[in-house]
Structure 1
């Protein structure tokens, strides 16, 4: 090969390497510039707020969606402000929520959220940082552990949410920093959040203290022990036990207890008072339509019907109410008169009345005990679903009595105030979160003046001593005119002759005021001075 050929071949080889290098450089530049522009754009958003500062008092809706990895289901909780400016929980039969303080705390915890350092731009990393959107129709198994908590706040007269973010895991070794992203964005930023207060639990948004009573204020307890035949609707003989005490330091006294050798079981009373003091709400159900707030029939609704069909309408309404009540362990019992307003509520597990020294009487009607999941406890099933569920349980018991049913012992408790938690034999931990015990309870609160004790009598003014009465009478009569002074041994009128020169001036003034001057001064003080003060 000639030198020229070698030279040409060398240059060709050189050009090939240079061309390959240029192609590689072009690929690198195109890929690098494409990625860097996005990174530069996202890095340029560092320090930007996720949303504008807002007034939390203008909020009308707050929604918190989390994910329960144990049950593998989302927890979606929302509070709304209704037209009466009252915060309610739509998912829990519009039960009133104590949302004002918690809403303010939630708003404060997310207020001023800013994008910090950019962590990733790839959706594949969302599970790693715990920012997978919980509001999805389906989730992959790989994403279950990485689902975040989504918070949405809506203001009045606004079509779009003022706050909508997904809060993920905490940044390691930075307790106040979290991985956060907006639902419509793929980018994940590190964001500082102080005092994060987010909860999708029903119990965190209500006042769980059902009775709001202090045990020391209870001074009367009445237990109504009876049984109801569900099929016949008949009531067994009622045993009434009434216990009273003067105050929280006094002993309980059982009415009718005459045997001096017997005494009240103070430990049992202490347990009852403690239970009432700590009576907590586990869930709520809507009151049956047709019942008033005091658990009586809605007579206005009945009287609105024509007289011809009124009785039939009332009977049909009672039948529908009873069908729903019986599934929960209650029943309406008509009185002997048969009148629609002569009706009372009976509880399959009896009743208890607790009175306080403030005049409040709490009447608790204990219904059926049951076991279920957290949702079953909080919001329950529909009446039809509960009835079907109860029928299925009865069939299981009848067909296979050897199998132990979870939670079957809740019906055989000694008192309806007790509910044993579903725990393992060691009692260390709950073994079945879908089989937690609960009991239906109706609560009625009235005012009973007799609980306040004897009415205070109006104080009577004490009778004054005779000496003070005489003094008062003297003051009322006014001071008596002083008698004219006269010297002993002297006549009332001076003698005509024999007077001294000092007696002459006394006669002249006595005559002048008695005649002419006496009239003018008497008229002037009686008229002119009396008008000036007026």
Structure 2
């Protein structure tokens, strides 16, 4: 090999080496010109219209369970649902539009790295089963937005927050001040993460995967002002064998709140002879504190999870059938949640609560077994609830039809009447008939008005019951155990020792009740005090002394005229007035 060829070879090798070094340097630290060109540009170029968003997927690592937790909300059949929760209805439309709008405004603030080996450092490792061996801190949160056809509109893996002391590259420190600056990797069309790590302003809190953040959590939509009565039914369900259970009734207690005071409406106890009427135990009173907690718990009853009911049972509940049937699989599904079907009636592990509203319907809540959701957000014990709405027929007695006066045509004809019964004239008969017809019309008009009001109120209650049951029918609801403990009261919880003295005044400040007005003052002047009595004449009647007050009826006075003697300026009793009979004449005088 000649010297010239050796020189050429050395130069070529050096060029290749320098090229490789240049590539490595570029991948590790992007060129300043390239970074400058990207800064300020939208991070997601395919997202043009927030209305195009039809689904949102969020995947994160659950450190408590040590597993990947996917969450997805999507529009299915025109409804927003949560597929990971058996398509439970989601309150997602406005929230998802807001998220899509926010993503459209996300701008590139800088580039941290192009090396895959830096992904762990920035916490942008894709959260999937293949990366579970990676440190939990290095797993990011995957966010993916798609349109109705499943086309990706925006996708990223959000990593840890940017620290102003980070020195991975100058770009990583760009605008690091602010808690929302995070490292971000984009997802490609194939769903895989790209190598480049950007710095962008992303609020990770808006990408919640908590079930209750995406639903209407208010289970009952309860209005305290419409509360009429609360009934607590206490019973026990005990297994007889593997196929049968026994229901043992205990008590049913109904209370109501009137004028800010709780009172007992009825108390029924179940004994050897069946149901018997009970009363408030001696020396005890209604436990207002526990009942106020119960009322607040009803208002605050929130959903933290759901489980789908057996299909056949759901269909019957939507039809509001009182007698239910269920197959073997459905029976097992009921019992797993702590409910049983006995003689066509659903019963539960922990009794029932009936909340009667003055709008014509009642909520019936049955409490089942404890339920563990097993996630970080809702760790701990919760409780299954079987909810149903029922029309309260007692609030809708049909208005009575009025008794209409009979028309003259329904009475005797003139041929059948005696001379004394016959109408004096045809004109008088027509007037009487017109009066009766007017009265009949008035009564019928009033009845029709009352009937329409009754019908409208009943129809409104029926619609409310139907809408509530359409929401309740498919699901066992899961509520916090703390709320359940306030709802689940027994006889001993409802009564307390009676106070020996009221803790608050009956009227006035501190009582919550206005004091009654004082009695009206008398306008009659008070009589002067009587002079002291002469002890020597105690037993003698006082003849000449005028009395300031009227003497007692049973103490006749000496100078008082007798009943049959006329008073001054009055006619004598035996002298009758004009055209007036003698009232005081003894019998027999004539």
Q: Calculate the TM-score normalised by the size of structure 1.
A: 0.59
Per residue, is there more helix in 1 or in 2?
1
Give the C-alpha shift of residue 448 in structure 1.
2.8
Query: 1:365 & 1:330 partners in 2: Cα distance?
Result: 8
Contiguous gaps of at least 5 residues in structure 2: 164-176, 189-193, 268-278, 403-590
After superposition, the C-alpha distances for 1:94-138 in whole angstroms (9 at most, x for unaligned) are: 11111123212322331232333111000111111121111x222
Distance 1:42 1:360, change over 3 A: farther
After superposition, the C-alpha distances for 1:302-339 in whole angstroms (9 at most, x for unaligned) are: 9xxxxxxxxxxx98x444432322222211122xxxxx
Match of 1:213 among 206, 219, 222: 222
Report the counterpart of residue 146 of structure 1 in structure 2: 138
Matched, 1:68 2:62: yes
Distance 1:161 1:220, change over 3 A: same
Report the counterpart of residue 245 of structure 1 in structure 2: 257
After superposition, the C-alpha distances for 1:219-250 in whole angstroms (9 at most, x for unaligned) are: 31101111123334332234211112235x23
Contact kept? 2:231, 2:353, Cα under 8 Å: yes
Distance 1:162 1:266, change over 3 A: same
Report the counterpart of residue 287 of structure 2 in structure 1: 265
Query: 2:233 & 2:389 partners in 1: Cα distance?
Result: 16
Contact kept? 1:51, 1:113, Cα under 8 Å: no
Contiguous gaps of at least 5 residues in structure 1: 1-11, 303-313, 335-342, 379-432, 459-534
Match of 1:183 among 175, 180, 187: 187
Query: 1:327 & 1:196 partners in 2: Cα distance?
Result: 35
Query: 2:247 & 2:143 partners in 1: Cα distance?
Result: 52
Contact kept? 1:356, 1:451, Cα under 8 Å: no
Query: 1:264 & 1:453 partners in 2: Cα distance?
Result: 31
SS of aligned partner of 1:272: helix
Report the counterpart of residue 363 of structure 1 in structure 2: 364
Matched, 1:161 2:152: yes
Give the C-alpha shift of residue 215 in structure 1.
4.0
Give the C-alpha shift of residue 54 in structure 1.
3.0
Report the counterpart of residue 309 of structure 1 in structure 2: none
What CA RMSD, in Å, does the superposition of the two structures yield over aligned residues?
3.8
Contact kept? 2:255, 2:262, Cα under 8 Å: no
Query: 2:132 & 2:329 partners in 1: Cα distance?
Result: 45
Contact kept? 2:309, 2:333, Cα under 8 Å: no
Query: 1:35 & 1:347 partners in 2: Cα distance?
Result: 68
Contact kept? 2:65, 2:374, Cα under 8 Å: no
Query: 2:22 & 2:314 partners in 1: Cα distance?
Result: 72
Give the C-alpha shift of residue 258 in structure 1.
6.2
Report the counterpart of residue 441 of structure 1 in structure 2: 385
Contact kept? 2:53, 2:100, Cα under 8 Å: no
Query: 2:195 & 2:363 partners in 1: Cα distance?
Result: 55
SS of aligned partner of 1:255: strand
SS of aligned partner of 1:80: strand
Contact kept? 1:245, 1:253, Cα under 8 Å: no
Contact kept? 2:53, 2:97, Cα under 8 Å: no
Query: 1:296 & 1:168 partners in 2: Cα distance?
Result: 46
Give the C-alpha shift of residue 352 in structure 1.
0.8
Contact kept? 1:292, 1:298, Cα under 8 Å: no
Matched, 1:34 2:18: no
SS of aligned partner of 1:251: strand
Superposition map of 1:88-103 within 5 A: 88-103=81-96
Distance 1:87 1:366, change over 3 A: same
Could you tell which deviates more after superposition, 348-357 or 192-201?
Answer: 192-201
Give the C-alpha shift of residue 20 in structure 1.
12
Distance 1:261 1:182, change over 3 A: same
Contact kept? 1:109, 1:194, Cα under 8 Å: no
Give the C-alpha shift of residue 212 in structure 1.
2.2
Match of 2:108 among 111, 115, 118: 115
Q: How many residues align?
A: 361
Distance 1:96 1:297, change over 3 A: closer
Distance 1:32 1:124, change over 3 A: closer
Distance 1:320 1:102, change over 3 A: same
Distance 1:238 1:454, change over 3 A: farther
Give the C-alpha shift of residue 90 in structure 1.
1.0
The runs of at least 4 consecutive aligned structure 1 residues that moved more than 3 Å come to 18-29, 31-42, 44-48, 140-143, 193-196, 214-217, 256-262, 292-299, 317-320, 357-360, 449-455
Distance 1:21 1:319, change over 3 A: closer
Give the C-alpha shift of residue 354 in structure 1.
0.9
SS of aligned partner of 2:96: helix
